[in-house]
Structure 1
Amino acid sequence: MDEYLSILRLILPIFAMLAIGFVLRWKELMGQAVEKGMVELVVKVFYPCLIINSMIEASSFRGSVGSFWGPLAGFGTIVIGFLVCSVVGRVVGIKKGKGLRTFAFSAGIYNYGYLPVPLIVDLYGADELAVLFMHNVGIEIAIWTVGISFLAGGSLGEGLKKIFNPMVVALLVGLALNLSGWNTKLPSEVTSSVSMLAACAVPLGLLAIGANLFDHVRDGEKLWDNRDSVAGIALRLGVLPVVGLAIAWYFPLSIELKRVLVFQAAMPAGIMPIVLTKHYGGQPVVAVRVALATTIVGMLTMPLWIRFGLGLIGG
């Protein structure tokens, strides 16, 4: 029980930031223009700096071949998620043209950034965070290739063009610094500046997400649906965590990567699918239902899965 409460205490501030963003939009202290600017800064400046900073602070990856299994694991868990959610979506009666693709896309993607980052930093530090970002490269590839093609019928080439976004470029830069040893030779003025920018990534990102959720509430959208919401909870918080934990338990991976898989398996559905479904012709309200329902219920289930998973891998 004490271990569960310890993990829950780490999670609650994350949800508090979402709630603050929600209230700021409600009180008109964070308008859409402000939120848009914040998101631009987070995606193009702050989050890339967070990635580079973690690579600078991490121990050298040189010789750590096992760490490069991370992208493959990230890619695999997301693609498996798409396939499982698509099959179950059909079984529960969600049809193509009525939200099936959006449901499979949104339930298949876990919150791989904003929620696990602060938890992993608090518990394990920079080395573990660097492995997380390596793992997340595979997720980005899965989303922009298999995911977007599945959601909107886009070509594989279009998706591949979007893989090299600022965050992936930042990972490549940070990895090059780490492997070359230059991460220890950078001037303190540079590392301090990168560190300060990195510190803005998670809190500002969470505030923007909270504000965006308020918009859906304000617009009177039906945010709970017995089929979409319950199926999303059952899959994202019940069935799919077993897949991630099974990979972490069975395969001979590094303990750092195993821990990343445990944390990612416990996460609720991601927020990013809400934005992507708007852009690629999906049904955003379905993505909102899945994200909101799994995030709320996830406050209770995340500590349980993390505690069980860490015990399973001995980490």
Structure 2
Amino acid sequence: MFYTLFINVGSLFLMMLPGYILIRKNILSAGALKDFSQVIVKVFYPCLIFSSMTRNYSLEQVMDSWQLPVAAFFILFIGYLIGLIYNGFFSKGDIEHKKSMLYQFTINNYSFLPLAIIAKLYDEQHMAALILSTLGSEITVWTLGMAILNKREKGFNFKNLKHLLSAPLMSIYFSLIVMIVFSQFHTSIGALIEKYSTIKYINSTIYDLGQATIPLSLIMTGGRMGKIKFGDLKSKDIWIVTLFRMVIIPFAAVLMIKMLFPDHPYQNVMLIVCVMPNAIASLVLGELYGGDQNLLSGTVLISHIVSLGMIPLWLMFLI
């Protein structure tokens, strides 16, 4: 069982390798990597969201799955509480270091990596369930996460709510609107595809664009890791955050999910999100909001390396 899971997770990390090599060999520039990320986030990922949600969910099913975004919020919130306790008793250093520690305790890789793992292990319905759960994660990032990073500006700032209008979230909102319309007219996208060839071809194009999300996002992740310097890994706090992120926080989050949602049909999706490493996006946000770049980059790199073994180990017992 462990070997099968390790091979599945390991194959995803192999997909990161081209991006890592392209950056390390200076074939791809940091600027190109940023543009690459923009295309994924603003084109391919929204297409995946729309196609997955409209193909696999009705409005009634979405309403019945409110637990998914709620669970995603609580998974991140548990990391936040544990980070507060750790910072209160043990963390030393300046404000940039402390807020970076707390952010890395709180926010994990809740979208692209679990999406790739779920695509390997399950069907498209499980992918759609993860996408729906990211609504709770995104709200947490742009409220609680920004309150952490904006400590010099006295916490949360309402201007950060503009990120709740990002392309992926707008795609979720639009998908929900389409489901509402379908519900009112007692139809579905499948019925429209059978009736109208134009809708069939448009839907097929959106679906094909969405399928590029996983390989391209993994290549982008590998590229971002290629920018990290191994010499920045000396700080013991990097290893402490990794220990909490990959062992202690998942343990607490798993217990909570099993207690709050014991019989949910997509509990396995929630559990996979629980055991993810640090978010790649923390590198970008750290640059924007004055985080400790050595800590942020170090924890992203080490937690992803450790996750190659820890994710299969966790999943062997959980799913």
TM normalised by structure 2 equals 0.89
The answer to whether the 8 Å contact 1:103/1:290 transfers is: no
**Matching residue of 1:266:** 275
Q: Give the alignment's Cα RMSD to 1 decimal.
A: 1.9
Matching residue of 2:297: 288
Q: Distance in 1 between matches of 2:263 and 2:35?
A: 39
Partner of 1:209: 221
Distance change in 2, residues 1:161/1:15 (3 Å): same
Task: Please list the CA deviations of residues 119-175 of structure 1 after superposition, one character each: whole Å capped at 9, or x if unmatched.
Answer: 212222121111111111111111101111121135441222211211111112223
Q: Indicate whether 1:183 and 2:195 are aligned.
A: no
Aligned to 1:166: 167
1:280 partner amino acid: Y
Distance 1:35 1:17 in 2: 16
Amino acid at match of 2:223: A
Match of 1:313 in 2: none
* Equivalence for 2:136: 138
Tell me, yes or no, if the aligned pair for 1:274 and 1:284 is still in contact at 8 Å: yes
Q: What is the alpha-carbon distance in structure 1 between the residues aligned to residue 117 and residue 265 of structure 2?
A: 14
Structure 1 residues 250, 98: closer, same or farther in 2, change over 3 A?
A: same
- Superposed displacement of residue 33, structure 1: 3.3
Q: Which residue of 2 aligns with 1:57?
A: 55
Equivalences for residues 90-101 of structure 1 within 5 A: 90-97=88-95, 99-101=97-99
Structure 2 residue runs without a partner (length 5+): 194-198
Aligned partner of 2:18: which letter?
Answer: I
Taking a change above 3 Å as real, the CA distance of residues 85 and 156 of structure 1, as seen in their structure-2 partners, is same
3-state SS of 2:41 partner: helix
Going from structure 1 to structure 2, the CA distance change for 1:291 and 1:33 (only over 3 Å counts) comes to closer
Normalized against structure 1, the TM-score is what? Answer: 0.90
**In structure 2, C-alpha distance between the alignment counterparts of 1:61 and 1:224, rounded to whole Å:** 47
Instruction: Count residues in correspondence.
Output: 305
Residue 242 (structure 1) shift? 1.5
Going from structure 1 to structure 2, the CA distance change for 1:64 and 1:205 (only over 3 Å counts) comes to closer
User: CA 1:19 to 1:308, structure 2 compared with 1: closer, same or farther past 3 Å?
Assistant: same
Alignment match, 1:245: 254
CA deviations on 1:233-286 (whole Å, 9 max, x unpaired) are 221111111122112211246533311111011111111111111111212221
Query: Judging changes above 3 Å, is the alpha-carbon distance between structure 1 residues 173 and 106 closer, same or farther for their aligned structure 2 residues?
Result: same
Partners of 2:144 and 2:156 within 8 A in 1: no
**Residues 1-315 of structure 1: pairs in structure 2 closer than 5 A:** 3-63=1-61, 65-97=63-95, 99-153=97-151, 154-179=155-180, 180=182, 181-184=187-190, 185-186=192-193, 187-217=199-229, 222-252=231-261, 255-310=264-319
Contact map agreement 1:152 1:282 (CA 8 A) in 2: no
2: distance between equivalents of 1:261 and 1:130?
A: 12
Q: For residues 105 and 248 of structure 2, what CA distance do their matches in structure 1 show?
A: 11
Contact 2:78–2:253 at 8 Å: present in 1 too? no
Partners in 2 of 1:61 and 1:158 — Cα distance?
Answer: 31
Q: For residues 165 and 196 of structure 1, what CA distance do their matches in structure 2 show?
A: 21
Which whole-Å CA distance do the structure 2 matches of 1:175 and 1:126 have between them? 17
Alpha-carbon offset, residue 24 of structure 1: 1.0
Give the drift of 1:87. 2.1
Shift of 1:113: 1.4
CA pair 64-22 structure 1, distance change in 2 beyond 3 A:
closer
Deviation at 1:51, TM superposition (A): 0.8
Secondary structure at the counterpart of residue 85 of structure 1: helix
Query: Identity of counterpart residues, as a percentage?
Result: 23
Q: Provide the C-alpha distance between the structure 2 equivalents of 1:280 and 1:64, rounded to a whole number of angstroms.
A: 35
Q: Give 3-state SS (helix, strand or coil) of 2:290's partner.
A: coil
Output the CA distance in 1 between the equivalents of 2:15 and 2:249.
Answer: 26
2: CA distance, partners of 1:68 / 1:88? 31
What's 2:196 paired with?
A: none
In 2, the alpha carbon distance for the partners of 1:10 and 1:103 equals 30
**In structure 1, C-alpha distance between the alignment counterparts of 2:59 and 2:6, rounded to whole Å:** 31
